[in-house]
Structure 1
Amino acid sequence: MENTENTLIDKTFRDSNGNIVLGQMPNPPLILWIVASLLTLVLTTGKINTVLDFLANGALFTWAWMELFQGVNYFRRALGLAVLIGMIAYRIQ
């Protein structure tokens, strides 16, 4: 007999199909964040750096917001919240 009860562990790490999900293929905001962040390391000065930094932060914020409210499990939602808190803490230091 299979246990159909959703335990806290299941809700934390499993998606709606019952698969354990810790990481996923990057979605467009995460890809944009990676690319823009890498480009800021190459183009370190000027307006282009400012634009890339803005894009990187906006994309990461978007990704974190999406995870927080649409994440497939509690772990992914907590990850989104942690990234949002980390972004705020980094900016107000």
Structure 2
Amino acid sequence: MRASRQGVAADLRPGPQGRERGADLNAIDWFFRDRKTGAITIGQWPNAPLLIFIGCALVGWLDGPGGRIGPYLRILGAAALAWWAVDEVARGVNPWRRCLGAGVLAFLAWKLARAAL
């Protein structure tokens, strides 16, 4: 395997079991590779919905557990996080980002179902 500016080039020579060494790397590469730029993308700078969620979490933390605006911040923060997750599922740059969005949506649905009980 060698590194270059374009990323990691896999060694495709047969391995000890006759399997290509690069098969696992190709799957990882496919999972994390940005489809537009070709770069490996695991995380990105926060976009607007994620910044709203982070802001709500920070203000809620500063407000304290008995604060008056806490419930409103939790609702706004959850809505912003759901907005971010739906956007990642719909327009994520690679399968990793889409799975991350789906996982966050599943977590939010679980939290909502648990709160309803």
Q: State the TM bucket, normalised to the shorter chain.
A: 0.7 to 0.9
Q: Tell me which residue corresponds to 2:81.
A: 60
Partner SS state of residue 29, structure 1: helix
- Does residue 51 of the first structure (1) align with residue 72 of the second (2)? yes
TM-score, scaled to structure 1: 0.83
Matches within 5 A, 1:73-88: 73-88=94-109
Partner SS state of residue 20, structure 1: coil
Match of 1:37 among 54, 57, 74: 57
Higher RCO structure (Cα 8 Å, ≥6 apart): 1
TM-score, scaled to structure 2: 0.68
Q: Tell me which residue corresponds to 1:10.
A: 29
How many residues align? The count is 88
Partner SS state of residue 30, structure 1: helix
CA distance in 1, matches of 2:27, 2:98: 14
CA distance in 1, matches of 2:51, 2:100: 17
* Greater per-residue strand proportion: 2
* Greater per-residue helix proportion: 1
Extract unaligned runs of 5+ from structure 2. Answer: 1-8, 11-25
RMSD: 1.8
Offset at 1:11? 3.0
Larger-gyration structure (1/2)? 2
Extract unaligned runs of 5+ from structure 1. Answer: none
Q: Tell me which residue corresponds to 2:13.
A: none
